[in-house]
Amino acid sequence: MRYRARIGVDPGAFLFGVRWGPSLPMIGVVLLAWASLGASLSLLLGSIARTEGQAVAIGVLASNVLAALGGCWWPIEITPGFLQGVARVLPTGWTMHALHELVSFGSGWRSAVPDALLLGGAAVLAGWAASRVFRFE
């Protein structure tokens, strides 16, 4: 059955055939928290790394490992139980859990609040750490 989007109701569904679920604003909150954490960690890594090559290598390696372990490459539900436990303590796992609840399962905004708070708290912590080691050159 072909999905017909209603213009003006869901721009993602209209443009790409994606159903974003009932809580599009909360998806924005989760993505903003994720972006804030990414920016804070980038500042921290940029301040700690001694060369540009080190920063690039560590950033690429860390992002790929975190993506794989957090469920960004495949559904975390198909992995063994211990890997699902690892995803529960990683920022990528928090983000994917929140987005799955909101988009895949159609849960309300309250289902993503704990993950958004974890992401926001980690962003503040990483930002604080970055401010402590930031160096002007």
What confidence tier does 3 reach under pLDDT thresholds 50, 70, 90? very low
More confident residue, 71 or 135: 71
C-beta separation of 115 from 98 below 8 A: yes
Number of compact structural domains in the chain: 1
Residue 7 lies in a domain: no
Domain limits for position 118 = 21-133
Residue 60 lies in a domain: yes
Residue 2 lies in a domain: no
Residue 15 lies in a domain: no
**What tokens appear for 2 in the block?**
């072909």
Q: What pTM was computed for the model? A: 0.83
Give, rounded to a whole angstrom, the gap between the first and last alpha carbons of the chain: 59
DSSP, collapsed to helix, strand or coil, labels residue 59 as: helix
Torsion of CA 18, 22, 23, 24, to 10 degrees: 30
